[in-house]
């Protein structure tokens, strides 16, 4: 869950200018436990909050800014949203992450050499005060500072500060180094999506790779920067009462799920709290509908007791046999000999079976390898083509009209190294 929350929530704008009166920030019934409970019930694993957006307003009482909750009327200036949310995340078993914009339209030092150290100090303050932070979210927004000076961000300093405080944190930006922006805010990862990309010589923002590269990654990329797909449940990122009846439909959210999670990407779905400081019922209900639909879609793996056979198996060993693809154990897998870059896997379901979803997973500890694959089904006389795709990655979910067959065949046509798969699932999802 992405949480966009701050003065913009109360001023009906998406990008504040740093000149807003901090007293506008005054949620009447803020409840971070409600956010966490909603995220948990929706099946989410973590919450990332806009601790500081481009307006420079800090959701904690920062000693490096005068544009914070301390200057607001909320809780008479004694509140701390990050403290409340980090505690709520721990209570509900969720990971806690922060978005801190390096652009600051309020701070007087922005646009000067001194500002990079100010921002580093701000990172120190947040990342050292609220327990474990699993992800540090950076965007590359860069505006004009005093006298029209553009800030030259010291990304090396920022990264060092993050890792000094949170050694295992994932850093998100256009070029990672932990995970990358997908190149759009529509929830659509590339049909071809490599978790590798060349990032040397690039930086977040204006110096980022092209959106087409961000969207699909690069098969020869030297850095491991898997994709994270961010999109909002509403038309905007911050709450607006005018959008209460414009929450994305269940069908749209299901599409987003398949074009993000189903294409080797993490989904970061923004759900902005309202002016009370709570998630609006319209958003919450839609999240529960999405959770129910996903649960129903993947409740029963129709291939769990199927017979799996492969055209090639590494060393002809049972340790790497195709049956491992059905056992739902992460660290068991099927693979081929090193020089065998193509192979096929046949799945005999034992009887005529109706289904409309197929999931495939590569064993990620050994990297991403499959470059192209196809799927066939048996129509009682011959193999018929069902789908043709490129990458698989951590998870690939294929959608197609309902078919009925006893046998399926997965053809790994091209792979950068011997293919290594640890899971294949067959499902009958409800039709919307």
Asked if the structure places residue 258 within a domain, the reply is yes
From 245, 266, 297, the end of a domain falls on 297
Give yes or no: residues 7 and 86 share one domain: yes
Give yes or no: residues 103 and 171 share one domain: yes
Asked if the structure places residue 401 within a domain, the reply is yes
- How many Å apart are CA 30 and CA 75, to the nearest integer? 10
Range of the domain at 359: 307-427
Residue 419 sits in a domain whose CATH number is 2.60.120.260
Q: Is 20 left (phi over 0), alpha (psi -120 to 50) or beta?
A: beta
Compute the residue count for the chain. Answer: 432
Question: What pLDDT shows up at residue 299?
Answer: 97
Give yes or no: residues 132 and 22 share one domain: yes
The neighbour count for residue 186, using CB atoms within 10 Å, is: 14
pLDDT in tens, 38-71: 999 999 999 999 999 999 999 999 999 999 999 9
Residues forming beta bridges with residue 96, ordered by sequence position: 47
Question: What pLDDT shows up at residue 140?
Answer: 87
Give yes or no: residues 29 and 67 share one domain: yes
pLDDT in tens, 265-317: 999 999 999 999 999 999 999 999 999 999 999 999 999 999 999 999 999 99
Instruction: Report the chain (432 residues): mean pLDDT per 10 consecutive residues.
Output: 98 95 98 98 98 98 98 98 98 98 96 96 98 96 88 97 98 97 96 97 94 98 98 98 98 98 98 98 98 98 98 97 96 98 98 98 97 97 97 98 98 98 98 88
Residue 52 sits in a domain whose CATH number is 3.20.20.80
Question: What pLDDT shows up at residue 149?
Answer: 87
Asked if the structure places residue 383 within a domain, the reply is yes
The DSSP call for residue 275 is: T
Give yes or no: residues 401 and 272 share one domain: no
The neighbour count for residue 223, using CB atoms within 10 Å, is: 17
pLDDT in tens, 98-114: 999 999 999 999 999 89
Give yes or no: residues 380 and 232 share one domain: no
Give yes or no: residues 342 and 257 share one domain: no
Gap between the terminal Cα atoms of the chain? 24
Q: How many CA atoms lie within 13 A of 39 on its CB side?
A: 32
Asked if the structure places residue 345 within a domain, the reply is yes
Asked if the structure places residue 131 within a domain, the reply is yes
Residues 85, 74 contacting (CB under 8 angstroms)? no
Asked if the structure places residue 432 within a domain, the reply is no
Give yes or no: residues 201 and 245 share one domain: yes
Asked if the structure places residue 238 within a domain, the reply is yes
Q: How many domains does the chain have?
A: 2
From 233, 265, 297, the end of a domain falls on 297
Give yes or no: residues 411 and 361 share one domain: yes
Give yes or no: residues 400 and 273 share one domain: no
The DSSP call for residue 242 is: G
Give yes or no: residues 185 and 138 share one domain: yes
Cα torsion angle, 104, 106, 111, 116, sign: negative
Asked if the structure places residue 302 within a domain, the reply is no
Give yes or no: residues 101 and 239 share one domain: yes
DSSP SS3 for 399: strand
From 297, 325, 344, the end of a domain falls on 297
Residues 265, 227 contacting (CB under 8 angstroms)? yes
């Amino acid at each position: 869950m992405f949480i966009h929350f701050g003065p913009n929530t109360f001023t009906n704008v998406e990008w504040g200018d740093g000149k807003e009166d901090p007293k506008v920030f005054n949620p009447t019934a803020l409840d971070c436990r409600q956010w966490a409970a909603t995220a948990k019930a929706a099946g989410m694993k973590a919450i990332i909050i806009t601790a500081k957006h481009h307006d420079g307003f800090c959701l904690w009482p920062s000693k490096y800014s005068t544009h914070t909750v301390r200057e607001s009327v909320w809780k008479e200036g004694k509140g701390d949203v990050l403290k409340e949310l980090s505690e709520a995340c721990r209570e509900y078993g969720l990971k806690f992450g922060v978005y801190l914009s390096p652009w600051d339209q309020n701070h007087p030092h922005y646009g000067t050499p001194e500002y990079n150290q100010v921002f580093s100090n701000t990172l120190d303050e947040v990342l050292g005060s609220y327990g474990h932070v699993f992800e540090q979210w950076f965007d590359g927004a860069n505006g004009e500072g005093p006298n029209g000076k553009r800030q030259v961000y010291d990304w090396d300093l920022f990264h060092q500060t993050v890792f000094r405080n949170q050694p295992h944190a994932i850093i998100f930006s256009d070029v990672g180094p932990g995970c990358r922006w997908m190149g759009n805010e529509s929830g659509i990862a590339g049909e071809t999506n490599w978790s590798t990309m060349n990032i040397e010589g690039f930086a977040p923002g204006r110096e980022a790779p092209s959106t087409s590269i961000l969207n699909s990654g690069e098969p020869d990329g030297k850095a491991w920067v898997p994709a994270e797909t961010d999109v909002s449940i509403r038309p905007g990122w911050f709450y607006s009462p005018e959008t209460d009846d414009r929450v994305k439909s269940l069908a749209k959210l299901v599409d987003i799920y398949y074009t993000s999670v189903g294409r080797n990407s993490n989904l970061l779905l923004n759900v902005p709290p309202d002016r009370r400081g709570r998630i609006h019922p319209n958003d919450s209900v839609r999240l529960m509908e999405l959770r129910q639909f996903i649960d129903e879609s993947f409740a029963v793996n129709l291939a769990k007791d199927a017979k799996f056979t492969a055209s090639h198996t590494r060393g002809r060993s049972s340790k790497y046999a195709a049956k491992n693809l059905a056992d739902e154990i992460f660290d068991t897998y099927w693979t081929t000999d090193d020089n065998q870059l193509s192979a096929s896997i046949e799945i005999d379901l034992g009887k005529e079976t109706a289904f409309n979803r197929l999931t495939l997973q590569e064993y990620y500890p050994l990297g991403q390898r499959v470059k192209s694959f196809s799927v066939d089904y048996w129509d009682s006389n011959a193999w018929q083509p069902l789908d043709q795709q490129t990458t698989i990655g951590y998870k690939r979910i294929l959608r197609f009209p309902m078919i009925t067959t006893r046998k399926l065949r997965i053809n790994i046509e091209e792979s950068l190294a011997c293919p290594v798969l640890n899971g294949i699932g067959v499902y009958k999802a409800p039709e919307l």
